[in-house]
Chain A
Amino acid sequence: MALEIKDPAVNNTPLKKSINETKLPVIALIGMPNSGKTTLFNALTGSNFKTSNYPGATVEYSIGSLVNRFGFSSYVMDSPGIISLNPSSPDEDVTISGLFNHPKFGLPDVVIVSCDCTQLSRQLFLVKQVIDTGFKTIVALTMNDLLDKKDMFVSEEKLGKILNAPVIKINSKKKEGINELIRKAEEMYLDESIVDYKSTIRKPGHPAEEDVAKLYDYTEQTEREVLESKNNIDINEVNRKAFRSLSRTPDLNSMKLDKVFLHPIWGIFIFVISMGIIFTSIFWIAQPAMDIIDTAFSSLSQLVADSLPAGAWYSDLITNGLINGFGSVMIFVPQIVILFILLGLLEDTGYLARAAMLIDKPLSKFGLNGRSFIPMLSGYACAIPAMMAARTISNRRERYLTIMIIPLMSCSARLPVYALLLAMVVPPDKPWIAGIGLGALYLFSIIASAVTAGIISKFKKTDEKSTFMLELPPYRTPVFRHVFKNTYYKALVYVKQAGPIIIVISLLLWALTYFPNVNPEIPESKTKGLTEEQISKVIESERLNTSFAATIGKNVFEPVLKPLGWDWRVGVSLISAFAAREIFVSAMAITFNITESEDDEDNFQTSILASMREARSPDGTRPLFTTASTISLIIYFMFAMQCLSTVAVARKETGSWKIPAIQIVFYTIMAYVLAFITYNGLNLLGIQ
């Protein structure tokens, strides 16, 4: 079981320390999904909480302390919503085991179960299960305003008596009943009359179908007894008159809205529009913010470089290694923030579940889930936020499969590479061919990812069957503050957990491309008549071409790359581009000794294309970049896992190196084989 793995990959050490010192009580929140549990958690903690993973798992829990105003010092723990105390997936197992034996907090002192009173017979199922385990339990009744709209209410006294547990009506958004809830929790915590109850609490065993049916008989009976009509009429009379079983009818407004949102034509229309908005936002709206971050870090780098001794290796380490490395961590933050705000709003309004339902059928053919759609779509902008968005997929197998194929989506970092390489092969007077080529690349990446997902799900046998079973919650107005807060934590966790890996690997790449020939000697004939900036470019080029990366390129890569029609210089650029795909273009410029400034885009593109056209193959007999070798390079970029940030995030999101390692090995082999087939196939067809 996952909990036995002793790998505290969690980030809340200060909190843990203070808990050990002061031994504050712990209140655990339990509830079904959409039962108002998280809104209650936010009301209790004032959105001041930390989110961590259960050790060795990717299941998250949040821990925060009660707002001071309540006058009771306690921790509050929130974990994912559950249907029953009987887990039906590995992730649920982690969550439920965490309630009974939390790796950091042990058994909670008081449990608050949130219960949506508009679906009482269903939600009391979990409430009863929790009470029966022996926890000190308080029932928090939520959504009372919605029940009120149906002219009904729940008698707290009656329900409390039947359940033998305190019942308190709350409205988290209006902060009603919260204080009373806390008082009750404090009272129960301090109640010494129940001695040593903790030792008798056991996680319930696997129930039989009869047990479930029996428990539901109980909840139905209870519902009939506690549900009352506002006008003092018999509740059964109300039900009969208004609507068949009004007390068991879903929110009527939501059912009306669903007629539009799940309509065969309008539903698809709204789906396409909303997904279009998400895609445009992370693709284009994030761009200005990313440009600002990019400019800020290069100015910082320039500023620091000016104050450090020129030409010293540590100056370059700080500016090109460290500052640029940190810049490549931060560059993804705008996309992450935008995607998670939109995702949070969609989730809170209730539309996300509908969107997942709409698109589930086609995705299920490839072993995926309706919830895989947004992560995959986001992958066309950038794999980093996309992999993080895969968190919303509750089935672990489908989440991993989605994370597995996201690097195949044609992300925006590939665009500059494709633009350069397509410009190589397309006749200058027919630029529209490049447009068609780009479209074909996008289409090809969809097909490739679908095929890959299909193959993996076919051959990877597992116990965890693909299921959907998703509650469509009532449509609600989102609480913006919580969405922003949650987004902030997502971005923070990304910077803290994926950041260090990205920086370490970028430093490694920097060292490979910088050492050992730190100050190369350039014969004066080569620098004659050049400006200072051009001379520094010549030095940079010479340094890279004599670096460890170049040595590896010449000795290891050249024999391997030759069958694809490339030489060691392409290899060196590929090593550099592992920091980020778009670096391939500037790395090519350096290896091919381009002295034009990158700021002058037209000139830069023209001169790099000219150099590429002049470049000869290793034996010097024919051009290096033929149509065939260039197209094979495009194919390579489509598949290869050429992005260290993606590797770092895949590690963070799956909790182990297994999936990123498979991605590197499998996708690189795939890229190589397909590039090989392309190059030699084109040659056979007579295309050089």
Chain B
Amino acid sequence: MTKTAKVTEFRSVADMTIGESAVISSVGDDCLDIHCHCLRLMELGFTPGQEVSVVAKSPFKDPLAVSVRGTIIALRKTEAECIKISTDGIRN
């Protein structure tokens, strides 16, 4: 299921490819934008430790459709960048 991807320190949901799964490591850390919607992202279900996967992308590559907690939420790339991921923690 999961495609292996290069794990770098600053990868976010915006960098994920279609079909890729990952675990959220943090939301909104080192976010410089004061109007950032990080709290709303967390309220939507994007909390650290949650597994997410990118199920589709718009033909313009932005927004992305991200599966989380049993639903699919479309996010713009700028919003997806706030959600940092790590690929090592996937539970099986």
Task: Identify the A interface with B (CB < 8 A).
Answer: 83-84, 86, 88, 118-122, 125, 207, 209, 212-213, 216, 240, 244-245, 247-250, 254-255, 258-259, 262-265, 267-268, 353, 356-358, 360-362, 364, 370, 463, 465, 467-473
Give the residue among A125, A255, A258, A468 with the most B Cβ atoms within 10 A. Answer: A468
Of B40, B57, B69, B76, which one neighbours A88 at CB under 8 angstroms?
B40
Residues of A within 8 A of B48 (CB): 213
CB distance from B18 to the nearest CB of A (A): 10
| Contact in complex: A468, B35 (CB < 8 Å) | no
| Contact in complex: B44, A469 (CB < 8 Å) | yes
| Contact in complex: A468, B74 (CB < 8 Å) | yes
| Contact in complex: A469, B47 (CB < 8 Å) | no
If A83-B44, A463-B35 touch, does A469 touch B67 (CB 8 Å cutoff)? no
B20 close to chain A: CB less than 8 A: no
| Contact in complex: A83, B43 (CB < 8 Å) | yes
Q: Is the interface of A mostly helix, strand, loop or mixed?
A: helix
CB distance from B92 to the nearest CB of A (A): 7
CB distance from A274 to the nearest CB of B (A): 15
Interface code B44-87, partner A: CB below 8 Å = 1, 0 otherwise?
Answer: 11011011000111111111010111111111100100000000
Provide the bound-state CA to CA distance between A19 and B88, in Å: 59
| Contact in complex: B45, A122 (CB < 8 Å) | yes
CB distance from B54 to the nearest CB of A (A): 11
| Contact in complex: A362, B69 (CB < 8 Å) | no
| Contact in complex: A245, B76 (CB < 8 Å) | no
Residues of A within 8 A of B43 (CB): 83-84, 86, 88, 125, 212
CB distance from B13 to the nearest CB of A (A): 12
Closest to B21 in A: A244
Closest to B47 in A: A216
B1 close to chain A: CB less than 8 A: yes
If A357-B58, A360-B58 touch, does A470 touch B73 (CB 8 Å cutoff)? yes
Given A357-B74, A472-B74; 14 other pairs, CB 8 A cutoff: A122-B44, A209-B38, A209-B42, A212-B47, A240-B92, A245-B91, A248-B70, A249-B70, A255-B72, A268-B59, A356-B74, A361-B58, A361-B63, A470-B73
| Contact in complex: B73, A121 (CB < 8 Å) | no
B14 close to chain A: CB less than 8 A: no
| Contact in complex: B57, A469 (CB < 8 Å) | no
19 inter-chain pairs at a CB distance below 8 angstroms, sorted by A residue, are: A88-B37, A119-B70, A125-B43, A209-B28, A212-B42, A213-B42, A216-B47, A263-B59, A264-B59, A353-B74, A358-B58, A361-B58, A463-B35, A467-B37, A469-B37, A469-B41, A469-B79, A471-B72, A472-B74
Residues of B within 8 A of A83 (CB): 40, 43-44
CB distance from A104 to the nearest CB of B (A): 28
- Closest 10 pairs between A and B when the two form their complex, measured CB to CB: A119-B70, A361-B60, A122-B69, A262-B56, A472-B72, A84-B43, A264-B59, A465-B35, A122-B45, A357-B74
If A249-B67, A357-B65 touch, does A207 touch B39 (CB 8 Å cutoff)? yes
Provide the bound-state CA to CA distance between A249 and B72, in Å: 9
B16 close to chain A: CB less than 8 A: no
CB distance from B50 to the nearest CB of A (A): 8
Give the residue among B48, B50, B60 with the most A Cβ atoms within 10 A. Answer: B60
Q: Interface size class for chain B?
A: 35 or more
Residues of B within 8 A of A362 (CB): 60
| Contact in complex: A468, B75 (CB < 8 Å) | yes
| Contact in complex: A360, B63 (CB < 8 Å) | yes
Provide the bound-state CA to CA distance between A209 and B46, in Å: 11
| Contact in complex: A468, B79 (CB < 8 Å) | yes
Closest to B51 in A: A245
Of A209, A255, A467, which one neighbours B79 at CB under 8 angstroms?
A467
CB distance from A169 to the nearest CB of B (A): 17
Provide the bound-state CA to CA distance between A262 and B57, in Å: 7
| Contact in complex: B67, A250 (CB < 8 Å) | yes
Closest to B65 in A: A472
CB distance from A114 to the nearest CB of B (A): 14
CB distance from B34 to the nearest CB of A (A): 10
Provide the bound-state CA to CA distance between A384 and B83, in Å: 40
Residues of B within 8 A of A357 (CB): 58, 63, 65, 74
Provide the bound-state CA to CA distance between A364 and B62, in Å: 10
Interface code B1-18, partner A: CB below 8 Å = 1, 0 otherwise?
Answer: 100000000000000000
CB distance from B47 to the nearest CB of A (A): 5
| Contact in complex: A250, B75 (CB < 8 Å) | no
| Contact in complex: A469, B73 (CB < 8 Å) | yes
Of A207, A244, A250, which one neighbours B51 at CB under 8 angstroms?
A244
CB distance from B52 to the nearest CB of A (A): 10
| Contact in complex: A471, B40 (CB < 8 Å) | no
CB distance from A363 to the nearest CB of B (A): 10
Closest to A262 in B: B56
Provide the bound-state CA to CA distance between A360 and B76, in Å: 9
Residues of B within 8 A of A212 (CB): 39, 42-43, 47
| Contact in complex: A122, B60 (CB < 8 Å) | no
| Contact in complex: B56, A259 (CB < 8 Å) | yes
Provide the bound-state CA to CA distance between A268 and B59, in Å: 8
Residues of B within 8 A of A216 (CB): 42, 45, 47, 50
| Contact in complex: B44, A247 (CB < 8 Å) | no
Provide the bound-state CA to CA distance between A122 and B48, in Å: 14
Of B37, B59, B72, which one neighbours A465 at CB under 8 angstroms?
B37
Provide the bound-state CA to CA distance between A358 and B74, in Å: 10
